[in-house]
Structure 1
Amino acid sequence: MIAALPAQAAEPRLTAALGNTILTMTDVGPKHVRVSVDDTPIFDDTESEALSFVGAYSLKDRWIALFQADSGTKDCPTRFRIIEIGGPKPVVSYPFGSCSDAAQVTIDGDTLTVSMPVPAGGGDAAWTYRGGRIARTR
């Protein structure tokens, strides 16, 4: 008789307390990272070569977590994603960015703006997150 051993849960690579909420990032397998809020999975990244936590930012009664996804490709090596915590349920943004990894974050009231250079055309680009939505503003 062969006895099956219980599967071992992966240990989180990142655990962060954001207000009264615990955000975790766990490597589930190759090219598979799970982001959870209070032990509830909210996002599985299965496309990136690497997913990194950039930082957490307080916007009034909510927290915004910024993640960087590295694709491993030359045409667009980096994109970003926002997870908002503090509302009725977490909100996960679509990927955004100019393919540059040189992001700068500014906060003005209940608005978070992520700015970065545009590698191909020069200049800057910016995406603004407000009210659960991300939009390019420059």
Structure 2
Amino acid sequence: MRATSIAPLLCLLAVATPVLAQQDQPAIKLGGKTLELATTGEQRMQAKIDGEILEEDAFIEVETSFDDGSRGAAVLLVSDGGNGCPGNYVVISVDDGKAVATDPFGTCSDNAEASADQGIITVRFPPIGGRDGTVYHWSFAKGLEPPAAEPFQPKPGTSWANANALIGKYPWEALDNADVLAAFKALLGPDYETFTNYFGKGDPMDATPEGVIVGDCFDDSAEDSTNLLIGIDPTGKRVFVAMQDGGEAPRLYPAQEQWPASLQEQLKQWPQ
């Protein structure tokens, strides 16, 4: 059974289409007003204050909120229910009796960590799969600020010596190992970013009889599905990559004749 990972930037881990969980949710107090979320007769959801519709979408869910009596704000996860963009975020705030909402923001991913502390809201998309994270801040003083990047970092102390611990992990988790990450970057060069974009839905990695750790995944968020196959040889301290976009011929790194026999067999199962 395949598991959803980090979509669509990396097709997030364990993401379920949020519209399936659509239901009325408890009202929330914000600055002396009441934020209500309700389902319409057309199976859509609305976020309302004093009858004013501040946000409407296929799915809305409150992620976090704060209220100090005179003013308050809430972070909403919103989604149109499509596969291409699992979700974005909206901040609804009330100050001096006036309710306003930001435009939707985010990375088209519903895996953000939302928090509120001393009147500042943080919506953080953590670094994962070799890709930098993104952090948004909102406050009454500054409103929604431009996003800031949070650099991806492998796990401290990881190396070829413990690369076998990646067996049973998902392909994108291979980049948590510092030596494996460096090897993929060296092998792929300018194609490294494309490589991380191809992470999508996949199975946990396994090892071949030769001891090569292998995993594959695919991204079906676009019209043409893309495929990714990776191999990690802890003994030889080498990595291997095959990337295929739609009906195009696979791109192999390094050349196929340099691949171990067990990975050659994996390639035979790919569409040609």
TM-score (norm 2): 0.39
Conserved in 1, the CA contact under 8 Å of 2:90 and 2:102?
yes
Q: Give the one of 136, 140, 145 matched to 1:135.
A: 145
Shift of 1:68: 0.7
**Identity %, equivalent residues:** 21
Q: Give the one of 100, 106, 111 matched to 1:91.
A: 100
For residue 84 of structure 2, what is the aligned residue in structure 1? 75
Instruction: State the one-letter code of the partner of 1:26.
Output: A
Measure, in 1, the Cα distance between the counterparts of 2:45 and 2:78. Answer: 10
Conserved in 1, the CA contact under 8 Å of 2:114 and 2:122?
yes
Higher strand share: 1
Shift of 1:129: 0.9
CA RMSD of aligned residues (A): 2.8
SS in 2 for 1:136: coil
Measure, in 2, the Cα distance between the counterparts of 1:124 and 1:63. Answer: 27
TM-score (norm 1): 0.71
Conserved in 2, the CA contact under 8 Å of 1:52 and 1:68?
yes
Measure, in 1, the Cα distance between the counterparts of 2:117 and 2:28. Answer: 23
Count of residues paired in the alignment:
124
Identify the range of structure 1 (26-35 vs 63-72) with the bigger mean alpha-carbon deviation.
26-35
For residue 52 of structure 2, what is the aligned residue in structure 1? 41
Task: Specify the structure having the higher radius of gyration (Cα).
Answer: 2
Conserved in 1, the CA contact under 8 Å of 2:116 and 2:122?
yes
Shift of 1:116: 0.9
Conserved in 1, the CA contact under 8 Å of 2:65 and 2:73?
yes
SS in 2 for 1:90: strand
